[in-house]
């Protein structure tokens, strides 16, 4: 932490005034917030290079639209943790519920415990490291970035995935449509090593060599010739010409 | 959206303040649905007596003569007390028959619940106001469920508010919407259940009542619900000696559970749980989709 830490008690001040203080802060400022008691949208919309520590569990959309700074939550987080994160880091020590890191475009999200359903849904470049397990349909329609799961992944991992890379150390209950297991090459071990190191204690000393890699089979990218036939047949059935 | 909360006291420690704690939880969920609210409280009751909670919204009902008529119909003792626009009947006769008699004979009234342990209150309005009007805070007991509604599948009416109870001491609060409730309502009506609203959640309550009446445990009934109910749901269910939670297999509708040595609480959001004594040290988790969680006083 750099500079004096400004402390906010959400039992005393409004969440809005706290978030405004973060938005007004200059690079290098440090903040602490106590008594979040499950409040929504805590530390949302940070754009400066600041540090925020949240002591307690938060509600929906904590650290949403995050840029540059670092948010650390000592507790659990509900739906939409670090939704649409652009850069910087969001790190929680506990569990996250649904849709952690949804649509994230960059930066790093670390979940120390488990992450619920649809972790990394539509991720577009964010790196996510989960110390525990992820719920069903994680990385649904993922487009870019890395999802690293030190525990297990529930059903339909990577359904309709585009190009993100998924690494799972434990069991995968099932893979979603167009998601397949892929070879782990040296560059993937490098990526894993870098992300596990960045996650620190949350990764529990996991060895990059223990992970399996999953990604897109790229069968859903384009119309195949079969799709064209199907579309033409449908058009003919509808009385038109689809060519 | 809707907000649901449930609190189940495993030990005596918080039973004297069950209502107060439930009111705090419900109040925290007010943002999730300001249309109407309701709560069900389970207490020890009196052995061999059934209570029937009746709503007569907007009606000027003289409950005394109705109790006398019900007494004659049941050939059993009946007492009644009014609580604003609700009335709670108590009888040592056949509770299920009493429920049906009240449905059939009190025009415009809705029977909200019956059983030896349950009382159930609901009204249109903000949850704080509903809790205050029916004095939730003073109630004691073993477990309680409450709901604050954002109406989607049926109109904003008191009768369309949750919780829903159709079977003895069985009640349900629902966040979500069912898509096959009309067909299922017809099926259940053909199998002896009776419904008083067009609401989808009442059908879910009726479904569980039917399964339990057919001999299922609450857990067995919920296994059936996973197959037979189509739609989105997070349910919290109360029965005489227990409490259960079920989310649909997609699990879009939120739920969080916390447990200590003294209590189990569930809510749509953590902030309702954060207000409970001991919450900071509770085990907290998100219930998994399509998995039945239940707790019993007997256990």
The CATH number covering residue B212 comes to 3.60.20.10
Whether the Cβ atoms of residue B41 and residue B141 lie closer than 8 Å to each other: yes
B272 touches chain A (CB under 8 A): yes
Nearest chain B CA: its distance from A38 CA (Å): 4
Answer yes or no: B2 catalytic: yes
Whether the Cβ atoms of residue B264 and residue B243 lie closer than 8 Å to each other: yes
Closest residue on chain A to B279 (Cα):
A37
ipTM: 0.85
- The predicted pLDDT at position A243 comes to 41
Q: Which of B252, B271, B280 sits opposite A59 (nearest CB)?
A: B271
Q: How far apart are the C-alpha atoms of B287 and B296, rounded to whole Å?
A: 17
pLDDT, tens only, B98-156: 999 999 999 989 999 999 999 999 999 999 999 999 999 999 999 999 999 988 777 89
Chain B interface, best mutation among A54, A97, A99, by max B CB count within 10 A: A97
Q: How far apart are the C-alpha atoms of A53 and A51, rounded to whole Å?
A: 7
What is the reported pTM?
0.90
Cα atoms in the Cβ-side hemisphere of radius 13 Å centred on B45: 23
In a domain, A30, yes or no: yes
C-alpha of B3 from chain center: 13
In a domain, B91, yes or no: no
Whether the Cβ atoms of residue B166 and residue B205 lie closer than 8 Å to each other: yes
DSSP A177: T
Tally the domains of chain B. Answer: 1
Reply yes or no on whether the pLDDT at A28 is more than 80: yes
Whether the Cβ atoms of residue B88 and residue B51 lie closer than 8 Å to each other: yes
What domain range includes position A24? Answer: 5-237
- The predicted pLDDT at position A233 comes to 65
Residues A32-37: contacts with CB under 8 Å, at least 24 apart: A32/A5, A32/A6, A32/A7, A32/A8, A33/A7, A33/A8, A33/A9, A34/A7, A34/A8, A34/A9, A34/A10, A35/A9, A35/A10, A35/A11, A36/A10, A36/A75, A37/A10, A37/A11, A37/B271, A37/B274, A37/B275
Residues of chain A contacting B289 with CB distance shorter than 8 Å: 117, 135-136
Task: Single out the catalytic residue among B2, B9, B171, B252.
Answer: B2
Q: How far apart are the C-alpha atoms of B220 and B237, rounded to whole Å?
A: 13
Cα atoms in the Cβ-side hemisphere of radius 13 Å centred on B124: 9
pLDDT, tens only, A107-164: 999 999 999 999 999 999 999 999 999 999 999 999 999 999 999 999 999 999 999 9
Q: How far apart are the C-alpha atoms of A54 and A88, rounded to whole Å?
A: 16
B256 touches chain A (CB under 8 A): yes
In a domain, B106, yes or no: no
The CATH number covering residue A129 comes to 2.160.20.60
Q: Do A38 and B272 touch (CB under 8 A)?
A: yes
B251 touches chain A (CB under 8 A): yes
Hey, which residues does B139 pair with through a beta bridge? none
In a domain, A216, yes or no: yes
Closest residue on chain A to B271 (Cα):
A38
Place of tokens 């096959």: B180
Structure tokens at B17: 């303040």
Cα dihedral sign for A98, A94, B143, B298?
positive
Each of the 299 residues of chain B gets a pLDDT tens digit; together they read 799 999 999 999 999 999 999 999 999 999 999 999 999 999 998 889 999 999 998 888 999 999 999 999 999 999 999 999 999 999 999 999 999 999 999 998 999 999 999 999 999 999 999 999 999 999 999 999 999 998 877 789 898 899 999 889 999 999 999 999 999 999 999 999 989 888 999 999 999 999 999 999 999 999 999 999 999 999 999 999 999 999 999 999 999 999 999 999 999 999 999 999 999 899 998 999 999 999 999 75
Q: In sequence order, what are the residues at sequence separation of 6 or more whose Cβ sits closer than 8 angstroms to the Cβ of residue A189?
A: A208, A209
**Kind and range of the H or E element at A86?**
none
How many CB atoms neighbour CB A219 within 10 A?
10
Place of tokens 């036939």: A229
SS (H, E, C) B12-33: HHHHHHHHHHHHHHHHHCHHHC
Query: How are the residues of chain A apportioned to helix, strand and coil, as percentages rounded to the nearest 5?
Result: 20, 25, 55
In a domain, A219, yes or no: yes
In a domain, B35, yes or no: yes
Q: How far apart are the C-alpha atoms of A134 and A150, rounded to whole Å?
A: 9
Residues of chain A contacting B274 with CB distance shorter than 8 Å: 37-38, 57
Among left, alpha and beta (phi > 0; psi -120 to 50; other), residue A41 is left
Residue B243's nearest CA partner among B228, B264, B269 is: B264
In a domain, A242, yes or no: no
Q: How far apart are the C-alpha atoms of B265 and B275, rounded to whole Å?
A: 11
Among left, alpha and beta (phi > 0; psi -120 to 50; other), residue A158 is left
What is the percentage of chain A residues whose pLDDT exceeds 70? 90
What domain range includes position B219? Answer: 3-41+146-296
B186 touches chain A (CB under 8 A): no
Tally the domains of chain A. Answer: 1
In a domain, B53, yes or no: no
In a domain, B69, yes or no: no
In a domain, A181, yes or no: yes
In a domain, A40, yes or no: yes
Closest residue on chain B to A39 (Cα):
B271
Whether the Cβ atoms of residue B178 and residue B153 lie closer than 8 Å to each other: yes
In a domain, B186, yes or no: yes
Residue B169's nearest CA partner among B136, B130, B143 is: B143
Q: Looking at chain A from residue 34 to 63, which residues have their Cβ under 8 Å from any Cβ of chain B? A: 37-39, 56-57, 59-60
Structure tokens at B142: 């073993």
In a domain, B222, yes or no: yes
3-state secondary structure at position B293: strand
Q: Is B79 exposed, middle or buried (0-12, 13-18, 19+ CB in 10 A)?
A: middle
In a domain, B271, yes or no: yes
- Vertex A131 angle, CA A127 and A137, to 5°: 65
């Amino acid at each position: 932490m750099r500079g004096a830490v400004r402390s906010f008690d959400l039992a005393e001040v409004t969440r809005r005034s706290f978030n405004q203080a973060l938005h007004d802060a200059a690079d290098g400022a440090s903040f602490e917030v106590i008594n979040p008691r499950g409040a929504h949208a805590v530390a949302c919309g940070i754009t400066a290079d600041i540090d925020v520590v949240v002591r307690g569990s938060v509600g929906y959309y904590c650290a949403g639209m995050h840029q540059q700074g670092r948010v650390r939550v000592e507790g659990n987080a509900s739906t939409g943790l670090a939704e649409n994160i652009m850069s910087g880091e969001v790190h929680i020590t506990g569990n996250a519920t649904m849709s952690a890191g949804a649509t994230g475009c960059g930066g790093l999200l670390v979940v120390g415990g488990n992450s619920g359903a649809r972790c990394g849904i539509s991720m577009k470049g964010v790196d996510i490291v989960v110390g525990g397990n992820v719920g069903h349909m994680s990385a649904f329609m993922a487009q870019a970035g890395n999802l690293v799961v030190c525990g297990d992944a529930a059903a339909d991992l990577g359904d309709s995935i585009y190009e993100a890379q998924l690494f799972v150390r434990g069991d995968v209950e099932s893979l979603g449509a167009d998601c397949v297991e892929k070879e782990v090459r040296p560059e993937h071990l490098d990526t894993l090593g870098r992300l596990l190191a960045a996650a620190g204690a949350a990764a529990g000393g996991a060895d990059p060599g223990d992970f399996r890699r999953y990604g897109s089979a790229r069968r859903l990218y384009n119309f195949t010739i079969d799709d064209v036939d199907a579309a033409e047949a449908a058009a003919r059935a509808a009385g038109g010409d689809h060519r | 959206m809707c907000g649901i909360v449930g609190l189940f006291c495993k030990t005596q420690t918080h039973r004297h303040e069950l209502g107060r704690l439930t009111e705090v939880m419900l109040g925290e969920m007010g943002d999730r649905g300001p249309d109407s609210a309701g709560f069900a409280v389970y207490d020890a009751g009196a052995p061999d007596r059934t209570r029937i909670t009746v709503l007569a919204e907007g009606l000027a009902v003289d409950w005394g003569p109705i109790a006398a008529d019900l007494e004659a119909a049941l050939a059993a003792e009946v007492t009644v007390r009014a609580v604003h626009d609700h009335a709670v009947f108590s009888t040592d006769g056949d509770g299920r028959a009493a429920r049906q008699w009240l449905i059939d004979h009190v025009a415009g009234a809705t029977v909200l619940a019956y059983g030896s342990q349950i009382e159930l209150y609901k009204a249109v309005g903000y949850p704080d106001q509903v809790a205050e009007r029916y004095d939730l805070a003073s109630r004691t007991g073993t477990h309680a469920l409450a709901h604050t509604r954002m109406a989607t599948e049926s109109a904003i009416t008191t009768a369309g508010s949750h919780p829903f109870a159709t079977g003895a001491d069985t009640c349900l609060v629902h966040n979500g919407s069912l898509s096959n409730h009309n067909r299922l309502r017809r099926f259940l009506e053909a199998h002896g259940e009776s419904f008083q609203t067009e609401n989808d959640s009442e059908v879910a309550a009726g479904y569980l009542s039917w399964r339990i009446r057919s001999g299922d445990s609450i857990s067995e009934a919920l296994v059936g619900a996973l197959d037979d109910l189509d739609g989105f749901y997070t349910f919290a269910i109360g029965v005489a000696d227990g409490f259960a939670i079920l989310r649909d297999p997609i699990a879009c509708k939120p739920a969080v559970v916390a447990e200590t040595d003294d209590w189990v609480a569930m809510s749509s959001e953590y902030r309702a749980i954060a207000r409970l004594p001991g919450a900071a040290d509770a085990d907290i988790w998100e219930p998994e989709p399509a998995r039945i969680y239940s707790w019993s006083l007997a256990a």
